[in-house]
Amino acid sequence: MVLTMHTETASAGVGVGSAPDFKFSGGHGCNAPSPSVNVRFQELAKRWRKETSHLSLASRMASHPAYREIIAIGAAVVPFLLAELRRKPDHWFIALEEITGENPVPPESEGKVKRMADAWVQWGIERGHFK
C-alpha cells in the first residue's frame, strides 16, 4: 500500500506541521487504507492522549492499552501514524518501529520529538508513503 501526498509545500522540504493532501493507492496486492482504520486510529489516539498526558516516559505511554491496540492494527495504520507525525509530532515512534521493524532516527536526534518526527516523515517519503 502506498500513501502519496500532494502539497505545494512538499518541495520546500519535509517540514512538520504543513497540511498535506493525501491520496492512497494500493500496492503489493493491498487495498488502499480503509477509512474505518483511520476512524479507529483517531478514536484510539484521542483516548491515548487523554489518558497518558500526565506521563513523561515514552515506554509507559507505549504500554497504554489504546497504544497497543494501534500497534495491533499493523501496517494499515502506518500511513495514519506518519500523517499524524507530520501534522503534530508526538510519541508514535515506538509504534512505527514495532510495526515496520525500522528506526530511521539518527542517534543524535533521540529524545528530540520534532527531529524524530522529521526522520520518520523522511522515511515515509523515501518509501513512497508521501509524494
Q: What is the pTM of this model?
A: 0.73
- Give the cell for residue 23: 491520496
Rounded CA-CA distance 51/82 in Å is 21
Q: Where are the domains of the chain?
A: 2-126
The strand pairing partners of 56, in sequence order, are: none
* pLDDT tens column, 61-107: 899 999 999 999 999 999 999 999 999 999 999 999 999 999 999 99
pLDDT of 24: 37
Helices 93-100 and 113-126, packing angle to 10 deg: 30
Arithmetic mean of pLDDT over the chain: 79
**Is the distance from CB of 1 to CB of 127 less than 8 angstroms?**
no
